[in-house]
Amino acid sequence: MNQKLTRDQLAGMIDHTFLKAYATHQDLDKLCDEASTNHFAMVAINSSPVRYCKEKLSGTGVHVGAAISFPLGQTTIEAKAFETRKAIEDGADEIDYVLNIGELKMGNLSYIRKEMETIVGICREHHVICKVIFENCYLTSEEIQKAAEIAREVKPDFIKTSTGFGTSGAKVEDVRLMKETVGDLVKVKAAGGIRDLKTCLAMIEAGATRIGTSSGIEICRQLEEMEA
């Protein structure tokens, strides 16, 4: 994979991430500058500073991605819908929302479907990319597959492995299961604990086409060293 993937191609798959509770304008300035300089796909931030980052990234081609009901997913569908609409109003190009993990674990698949249809519908209405975060560390393989089967029918743009705030992050076997379930109808984003090129390439090999990481600069540097 590393022989086929160029540095620019890899950078274009990376969502450059800063989702800490203590994010300041200084942190966000650094994030946006790095994303622009490295031509990353998106900055992944909480929903509050979307407008600020949108202005910072104007004209760069880098998307602003808002994390919704982050990181627990334990808000109502109505609250997630409101936050999604507000983030889009503020300039979000992409939405990453955390599904209701508890409802999924209780087998309430009709709830998960309604939630997904609601958020995906808002995003489609505004021509915004939608990603559904599963938080796989709390799920069984069967639960992951069931959520992916719903996604295969509802068709968000992406399903995503993790928030990065759970007990573990992306796993190759989970990415592979998610991709096998949705096929070419939905893309897969791997996020959480991806800090080096080897791990990143393993996720891509398993089927991920987006990588959420705060280590994108280092990952791209490692690829450049291999190409040198």
Active-site residue list: 96, 160, 189
Q: Find the largest Cα–Cα distance for the chain.
A: 52
Does the CA dihedral 124-98-65-157 come out positive or negative?
Answer: negative
Q: Cβ(218)–Cβ(195) under 8 Å?
A: yes
Q: Report the DSSP beta bridge partners of residue 98.
A: 133
Which of left, alpha, beta for 104 (phi over 0: left; psi -120 to 50: alpha)? alpha
Q: 73: closest CA among 51, 105, 121, 107?
A: 105
User: Who contacts 209 (Cβ-Cβ below 8 Å, separation ≥6)?
Assistant: 13, 187, 188, 189
Query: Could you give the CA distance from residue 102 to residue 109 in angstroms, rounded to a whole number?
Result: 11
Query: Could you give the CA distance from residue 123 to residue 94 in angstroms, rounded to a whole number?
Result: 8
Q: What is the CA radius of gyration of the chain?
A: 16
Q: 161: closest CA among 203, 131, 193, 133?
A: 133
Q: Cβ(59)–Cβ(38) under 8 Å?
A: no
